[in-house]
Protein backbone atom coordinates (compact mmCIF):
# COMPACT_ATOMS: atom_id res chain seq x y z
CA UNK A 1 0.00 0.00 0.00
CA UNK A 2 1.43 3.44 -0.92
CA UNK A 3 1.99 5.91 1.90
CA UNK A 4 0.00 8.60 0.06
CA UNK A 5 -2.61 7.97 -2.60
CA UNK A 6 -4.56 10.53 -4.62
CA UNK A 7 -7.35 9.32 -6.87
CA UNK A 8 -9.02 11.60 -9.41
CA UNK A 9 -8.42 14.65 -7.21
CA UNK A 10 -9.79 17.92 -8.55
CA UNK A 11 -9.66 21.24 -6.71
CA UNK A 12 -11.70 24.21 -7.92
CA UNK A 13 -11.56 27.37 -5.83
CA UNK A 14 -14.52 29.64 -5.17
CA UNK A 15 -13.23 32.14 -7.74
CA UNK A 16 -13.46 29.47 -10.43
CA UNK A 17 -9.74 28.70 -10.68
CA UNK A 18 -9.06 25.00 -11.21
CA UNK A 19 -5.87 24.22 -9.28
CA UNK A 20 -5.84 20.43 -9.71
CA UNK A 21 -7.47 18.40 -12.47
CA UNK A 22 -8.30 14.70 -12.01
CA UNK A 23 -4.92 14.03 -10.42
CA UNK A 24 -4.15 10.40 -9.60
CA UNK A 25 -0.75 9.63 -8.08
CA UNK A 26 0.85 7.50 -5.33
CA UNK A 27 3.85 8.28 -3.12
CA UNK A 28 5.89 5.54 -1.47
CA UNK A 29 7.58 5.54 1.93
CA UNK A 30 11.24 6.55 1.73
CA UNK A 31 10.87 8.31 -1.63
CA UNK A 32 12.14 11.82 -2.35
CA UNK A 33 9.78 13.49 -4.83
CA UNK A 34 10.26 17.01 -6.17
CA UNK A 35 7.25 18.78 -7.68
CA UNK A 36 8.09 21.45 -10.25
CA UNK A 37 6.15 23.71 -12.58
CA UNK A 38 5.45 27.38 -13.27
CA UNK A 39 3.75 29.60 -10.71
CA UNK A 40 0.06 28.78 -10.44
CA UNK A 41 0.59 25.21 -11.66
CA UNK A 42 -1.00 23.72 -8.52
CA UNK A 43 2.12 22.72 -6.57
CA UNK A 44 1.14 24.28 -3.24
CA UNK A 45 -2.46 23.15 -3.64
CA UNK A 46 -1.21 19.58 -4.06
CA UNK A 47 0.65 19.68 -0.74
CA UNK A 48 -2.21 21.43 1.06
CA UNK A 49 -4.64 18.82 -0.24
CA UNK A 50 -2.48 15.96 1.03
CA UNK A 51 -2.31 17.62 4.45
CA UNK A 52 -6.03 18.38 4.56
CA UNK A 53 -5.56 22.14 4.47
CA UNK A 54 -7.57 22.12 1.25
CA UNK A 55 -10.62 19.92 0.63
CA UNK A 56 -10.82 18.39 -2.86
CA UNK A 57 -13.79 19.39 -4.98
CA UNK A 58 -13.79 15.80 -6.20
CA UNK A 59 -11.70 12.68 -5.66
CA UNK A 60 -10.08 10.99 -2.67
CA UNK A 61 -6.85 11.37 -0.70
CA UNK A 62 -5.47 8.66 1.60
CA UNK A 63 -2.45 8.91 3.91
CA UNK A 64 -1.12 5.72 5.46
CA UNK A 65 -4.36 3.98 4.52
CA UNK A 66 -6.59 6.62 6.15
CA UNK A 67 -8.90 8.86 4.14
CA UNK A 68 -8.08 12.55 4.61
CA UNK A 69 -11.35 13.81 6.07
CA UNK A 70 -12.20 16.48 8.64
CA UNK A 71 -13.06 13.78 11.15
CA UNK A 72 -9.59 12.22 10.92
CA UNK A 73 -7.47 15.34 10.39
CA UNK A 74 -5.74 15.28 13.78
CA UNK A 75 -4.52 11.70 13.39
CA UNK A 76 -3.59 12.32 9.75
CA UNK A 77 -1.56 15.45 10.50
CA UNK A 78 0.30 13.70 13.30
CA UNK A 79 1.93 11.65 10.53
CA UNK A 80 2.84 14.64 8.35
CA UNK A 81 5.62 17.11 9.09
CA UNK A 82 5.48 20.46 7.32
CA UNK A 83 8.43 22.62 6.25
CA UNK A 84 7.39 26.08 5.07
CA UNK A 85 9.00 28.72 2.89
CA UNK A 86 8.50 31.34 5.60
CA UNK A 87 9.59 28.96 8.40
CA UNK A 88 6.42 29.42 10.53
CA UNK A 89 8.32 29.80 13.79
CA UNK A 90 7.13 31.74 16.83
CA UNK A 91 9.78 34.47 16.89
CA UNK A 92 9.39 35.44 20.56
CA UNK A 93 9.94 31.85 21.73
CA UNK A 94 13.28 30.10 22.02
CA UNK A 95 14.45 27.48 19.54
CA UNK A 96 13.81 24.56 21.91
CA UNK A 97 10.15 25.48 22.39
CA UNK A 98 9.67 25.91 18.64
CA UNK A 99 11.07 22.41 18.07
CA UNK A 100 8.95 20.96 20.88
CA UNK A 101 5.88 22.23 19.04
CA UNK A 102 6.34 19.18 16.85
CA UNK A 103 5.29 17.01 19.79
CA UNK A 104 1.89 18.71 20.13
CA UNK A 105 0.47 16.53 17.38
CA UNK A 106 0.88 13.59 19.79
CA UNK A 107 -0.37 15.33 22.92
CA UNK A 108 -3.77 16.42 24.21
CA UNK A 109 -4.71 19.90 22.98
CA UNK A 110 -4.58 21.26 26.53
CA UNK A 111 -0.80 20.74 26.62
CA UNK A 112 -0.40 23.50 24.06
CA UNK A 113 -1.96 26.09 26.38
CA UNK A 114 1.03 26.10 28.72
CA UNK A 115 3.66 24.59 26.44
CA UNK A 116 3.78 21.51 28.68
CA UNK A 117 6.23 18.83 27.59
CA UNK A 118 7.64 15.67 29.13
CA UNK A 119 11.27 14.78 29.76
CA UNK A 120 11.19 12.41 26.78
CA UNK A 121 9.89 15.26 24.62
CA UNK A 122 12.87 17.42 25.62
CA UNK A 123 15.27 14.56 24.90
CA UNK A 124 13.72 14.09 21.48
CA UNK A 125 13.93 17.82 20.72
CA UNK A 126 17.57 17.90 21.81
CA UNK A 127 18.35 14.99 19.47
CA UNK A 128 16.56 16.76 16.61
CA UNK A 129 18.56 19.96 17.20
CA UNK A 130 21.77 17.95 17.31
CA UNK A 131 20.87 16.41 13.98
CA UNK A 132 20.46 19.82 12.32
CA UNK A 133 23.54 21.25 14.07
CA UNK A 134 21.78 23.77 16.31
CA UNK A 135 22.16 22.46 19.88
CA UNK A 136 24.12 25.60 20.76
CA UNK A 137 21.11 27.73 19.73
CA UNK A 138 18.54 25.80 21.78
CA UNK A 139 17.79 28.67 24.16
CA UNK A 140 18.16 31.54 21.69
CA UNK A 141 15.08 33.36 20.47
CA UNK A 142 14.00 32.26 17.04
CA UNK A 143 14.14 35.81 15.69
CA UNK A 144 17.88 35.97 16.44
CA UNK A 145 18.70 33.30 13.87
CA UNK A 146 19.66 33.58 10.21
CA UNK A 147 17.29 32.36 7.52
CA UNK A 148 19.17 29.10 7.04
CA UNK A 149 19.20 28.46 10.79
CA UNK A 150 15.49 29.19 11.04
CA UNK A 151 14.73 26.66 8.33
CA UNK A 152 16.87 24.09 10.12
CA UNK A 153 14.77 24.71 13.22
CA UNK A 154 11.70 24.04 11.08
CA UNK A 155 13.22 20.72 9.99
CA UNK A 156 14.08 19.83 13.60
CA UNK A 157 10.46 20.53 14.54
CA UNK A 158 9.34 18.16 11.78
CA UNK A 159 11.79 15.46 12.95
CA UNK A 160 10.52 15.85 16.52
CA UNK A 161 7.02 15.07 15.29
CA UNK A 162 8.21 11.61 14.14
CA UNK A 163 6.23 11.81 10.88
CA UNK A 164 5.82 9.25 8.12
CA UNK A 165 5.84 12.05 5.52
CA UNK A 166 7.39 15.52 5.21
CA UNK A 167 5.81 18.08 2.90
CA UNK A 168 8.16 20.95 2.05
CA UNK A 169 6.63 23.93 0.25
CA UNK A 170 9.44 25.94 -1.40
CA UNK A 171 11.72 25.25 1.61
CA UNK A 172 14.77 27.05 0.17
CA UNK A 173 13.15 29.85 -1.84
CA UNK A 174 14.29 32.58 0.56
CA UNK A 175 17.75 31.16 1.33
CA UNK A 176 21.20 31.82 -0.09
CA UNK A 177 22.72 28.99 -2.17
CA UNK A 178 24.90 27.64 0.66
CA UNK A 179 22.03 27.51 3.13
CA UNK A 180 19.78 25.97 0.48
CA UNK A 181 22.19 23.05 0.03
CA UNK A 182 22.42 22.55 3.82
CA UNK A 183 18.62 22.37 4.08
CA UNK A 184 18.27 20.02 1.11
CA UNK A 185 21.05 17.79 2.47
CA UNK A 186 19.11 17.50 5.74
CA UNK A 187 15.84 16.63 4.00
CA UNK A 188 17.56 14.07 1.79
CA UNK A 189 19.29 12.53 4.81
CA UNK A 190 16.00 12.21 6.70
CA UNK A 191 14.43 10.54 3.68
CA UNK A 192 17.32 8.12 3.15
CA UNK A 193 18.18 7.28 6.77
CA UNK A 194 14.72 7.28 8.38
CA UNK A 195 12.62 6.02 5.47
CA UNK A 196 10.45 9.14 5.67
CA UNK A 197 8.83 10.15 2.38
CA UNK A 198 9.57 13.73 1.30
CA UNK A 199 7.51 15.68 -1.22
CA UNK A 200 9.07 19.09 -1.92
CA UNK A 201 8.00 21.91 -4.21
CA UNK A 202 11.01 23.55 -5.84
CA UNK A 203 11.80 26.07 -8.55
CA UNK A 204 15.56 25.48 -8.47
CA UNK A 205 16.32 23.06 -11.28
CA UNK A 206 19.91 22.40 -10.11
CA UNK A 207 18.62 21.25 -6.71
CA UNK A 208 15.92 19.17 -8.38
CA UNK A 209 18.55 17.33 -10.41
CA UNK A 210 20.75 16.86 -7.35
CA UNK A 211 18.22 15.52 -4.85
CA UNK A 212 15.09 14.11 -6.50
CA UNK A 213 14.46 10.40 -6.91
CA UNK A 214 11.31 11.28 -8.80
CA UNK A 215 10.10 14.46 -10.47
CA UNK A 216 6.47 15.39 -11.00
CA UNK A 217 5.88 18.39 -13.25
CA UNK A 218 2.56 20.22 -13.09
CA UNK A 219 1.04 22.74 -15.44
CA UNK A 220 -2.45 24.16 -14.93
CA UNK A 221 -3.19 21.48 -12.36
CA UNK A 222 -2.29 18.54 -14.60
CA UNK A 223 0.67 16.17 -14.45
CA UNK A 224 2.76 16.64 -17.58
CA UNK A 225 5.76 14.59 -16.46
CA UNK A 226 6.27 11.91 -13.82
CA UNK A 227 9.53 10.02 -13.82
CA UNK A 228 13.16 9.82 -12.79
CA UNK A 229 15.22 12.99 -12.79
CA UNK A 230 17.98 11.17 -14.65
CA UNK A 231 15.70 11.03 -17.69
CA UNK A 232 15.27 14.80 -17.80
CA UNK A 233 17.57 17.15 -19.68
CA UNK A 234 17.69 20.95 -19.87
CA UNK A 235 15.38 20.95 -22.89
CA UNK A 236 12.74 19.05 -20.93
CA UNK A 237 12.94 21.50 -18.03
CA UNK A 238 12.67 24.42 -20.45
CA UNK A 239 9.62 22.88 -22.12
CA UNK A 240 7.90 22.42 -18.76
CA UNK A 241 8.29 26.07 -17.85
CA UNK A 242 7.58 27.61 -21.23
CA UNK A 243 4.03 28.47 -22.25
CA UNK A 244 2.71 26.95 -25.45
CA UNK A 245 1.08 29.47 -27.75
CA UNK A 246 -1.21 29.10 -30.69
CA UNK A 247 -1.20 31.33 -33.72
CA UNK A 248 -3.29 33.90 -31.83
CA UNK A 249 -0.77 34.13 -29.04
CA UNK A 250 -2.99 32.44 -26.46
CA UNK A 251 -1.68 29.89 -23.99
CA UNK A 252 -2.70 26.24 -24.34
CA UNK A 253 -2.83 25.65 -20.59
CA UNK A 254 -4.29 22.17 -20.92
CA UNK A 255 -1.94 20.80 -23.57
CA UNK A 256 0.00 17.86 -22.15
CA UNK A 257 3.63 17.45 -23.05
CA UNK A 258 4.60 14.19 -24.65
CA UNK A 259 7.43 13.11 -22.37
CA UNK A 260 8.71 9.60 -21.76
CA UNK A 261 7.82 8.29 -18.32
CA UNK A 262 10.41 6.38 -16.36
Whether pTM exceeds 0.85: yes
The rounded distance, in Å, linking the Cα atoms of 38 and 237 is 11
| Whole-angstrom distance, CA of residue 209 vs CA of residue 4 | 23
Partners of 215 in the β-ladder? 34, 227
Q: What is the DSSP string of 97-137?
A: HHHHGGGGGGS-GGGGGTT---HHHHHHHHHHHHHTT-GGG
| Sign of the Cα pseudo-torsion (36, 42, 48, 52, in order) | negative
Question: Which residues, listed in sequence order, are joined to residue 81 by a DSSP beta bridge?
Answer: 166
* 113, pLDDT greater than 80: no
What is the rounded CA–CA span in Å between residue 126 and residue 135? 7
Task: Give the whole-angstrom CA distance, residue 195 versus residue 61.
Answer: 21
Question: Distance between CA 251 and CA 247 in Å, rounded?
Answer: 10
Q: What are the pLDDT digits (tens) for 83-104? A: 999 999 999 999 999 999 999 8
User: Structural domain boundaries of the chain?
Assistant: 1-79+167-262, 89-162
Q: Which residue has the higher pLDDT, 71 or 48?
A: 48
Residue pair 72/252 in contact by the 8 Å Cβ criterion? no
What is the per-residue pLDDT across 161-216, written as a single tens digit (0 to 9) for each?
A: 999 999 999 999 999 999 999 999 999 999 999 999 999 999 898 999 999 999 99
The third-level CATH classification (topology) of the domain covering 1-79+167-262 is Rossmann fold (3.40.50)
Does pLDDT of 130 surpass 90? yes
Whole-angstrom Cα distance, residue 241 to residue 234? 11
Amino acid sequence: MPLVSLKNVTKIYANGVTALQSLTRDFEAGSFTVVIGPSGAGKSTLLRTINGLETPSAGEVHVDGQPVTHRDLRSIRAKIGMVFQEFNLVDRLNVMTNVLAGRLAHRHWSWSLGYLFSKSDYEMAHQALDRVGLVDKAWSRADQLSGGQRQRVGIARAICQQPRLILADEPVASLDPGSAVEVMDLLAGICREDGIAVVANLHQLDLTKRYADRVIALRAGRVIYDGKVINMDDATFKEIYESNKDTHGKRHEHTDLVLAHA
